[in-house]
Amino acid sequence: MLACRLIQRDLSSYLDGELPAARAARLEAHLRTCQRCREEIAALEGINDQIRAVSHDLQVSQDFDQRVLRAVGYYQVTRAQRQRKPLTKPLVVVALILLALLGMIRHFFSRTLPLPARAPVPAVSGLAPAASGATMPDRDRERRR
Amino acid sequence: MEEALRPRLVSAERPVDGQALAAASDVELTAACQNGSQAAFRELLSRYRKPALALAYHMLGDAEDAEDAAQEAFVRVFQAIPRFRGQAAFSTWLYRIVTNTCLGRLRRRREKISLERVSEPRSADSPSHQVTNALMTRQVLSMMPPKLRTVLLLRVEGRLSYREIADALGLPMGTVRSRLSKARTAFRKLWLDLSESGD
Ligand SMILES: [Zn+2]
């Protein structure tokens, strides 16, 4: 039918809400009487969902932003921050282990081999808070979408 | 009491910055980018990485290529943002750059994407009919003439208005209107052809 063909030319714009009001009204009137055009518009409507369904599960890789930021020269700051962290954390751990060892050795020797009363005792207890105070805050992770 | 606490809270963490950025409009963010705000660029990136990737993915049919293209587009955006005058919306401008980047890659590739080349999407496992539908959709899109595919994707994935698509592609509104109609007709015909050949 000629009427159907004229209507079908407008279906796409109608679906997009881009059809002038007068033509939209004419189209709606036709749809009320024409089963074929109703089926046609339902099928066209499904295309949007089909296309969006494909990309819906698409995942952005975790380093997407980082790669862009590196390419534009914005990544240096973050990288510098990251380079500091692996250095600082092990240092703190090593310091704590050493302190613990020192404490144990001191404790062990004070019980088994009593030291002369004037032997210098290292003031270790005050070191721990200072060392742990140097811990870096966790680098904020890239948000994953 | 509250007054005394607030400055300390603000300086201790930086959620306030983040909230302000999240609430900022694209216009505000592009202006901030032009003033060298790294955080504003990051926010635009986080806002648009997914739609830009989706658009590139549909145009190229390959997830890895799409990532490369979308990233390249963002780098181009960064380079061109000092000259961006806001004649069009940021999204329109971005999608135009993504589209051009993809078209350039397709031109260089100079090969039709065959069904074998359409790799599995990196997605959560979904029911098999959904996978089949997705594969067919991608196949149909890859078989469409690029001119039709581009307007359809800008409309469906970019959710741009006809005016915005016309601006993005430098086309008259009437051409956008007729191409979209043809694109949908073509999509439907190819879909039916593929369904029949698959039975
Ligand atoms: Zn009809």
Average pLDDT over residues A33-41: 94
Asked if A91 contacts B87 with a C-beta cutoff of 8 angstroms, the reply is: no
Share of chain B above pLDDT 70, in %: 78
pLDDT band for B86, please (50, 70, 90 cuts). confident
Contact A12 B180 (CB under 8 A): yes
Q: What angle (nearest 5°) sits at the alpha carbon of residue A111, between those of residues A108 and A116?
A: 105
Asked if B45 contacts A65 with a C-beta cutoff of 8 angstroms, the reply is: yes
pLDDT at position B119 over 70: no
Asked if CATH classification 3.40.50.2000 holds for the domain at B7-197, the reply, yes or no, is: no
Query: What is the Cα–Cα distance from A7 to A15, expressed in whole angstroms?
Result: 12
Query: What is the Cα–Cα distance from B82 to B34, expressed in whole angstroms?
Result: 5
Q: Map out the domains of chain B as residue ranges.
A: 7-197
Contact A71 B75 (CB under 8 A): yes
Identify the helix (H) or strand (E) that includes residue B93: helix B90-109
A18 closest CA partner among B166, B186, B168, B190: B166
Query: What is the Cα–Cα distance from A123 to B26, expressed in whole angstroms?
Result: 58
Query: What is the Cα–Cα distance from B82 to B80, expressed in whole angstroms?
Result: 6
Contact B137 A53 (CB under 8 A): yes
Which tokens go with A81?
């921050």
Q: pLDDT digit string (tens) for B89-112?
A: 899 899 999 999 998 898 887 654
Task: Give A-chain residues touching B79 at CB under 8 angstroms.
Answer: 72
| Partner residue opposite B122 with nearest CB, options A16, A18, A59 | A59
- Spell out where chain A has E strands: none
Query: What is the Cα–Cα distance from A121 to A129, expressed in whole angstroms?
Result: 19
Residue A94 burial (CB < 10 Å; 0-12/13-18/19+)?
Answer: exposed
pLDDT score recorded for residue A1: 66
Query: What is the Cα–Cα distance from B178 to A105, expressed in whole angstroms?
Result: 86
Task: Give A-chain residues touching B49 at CB under 8 angstroms.
Answer: 60, 64-65, 145
Q: Write the single-letter amino acid at B180.
A: L
Average pLDDT over residues A36-48: 94
Cα A105 to chain center, whole Å? 46
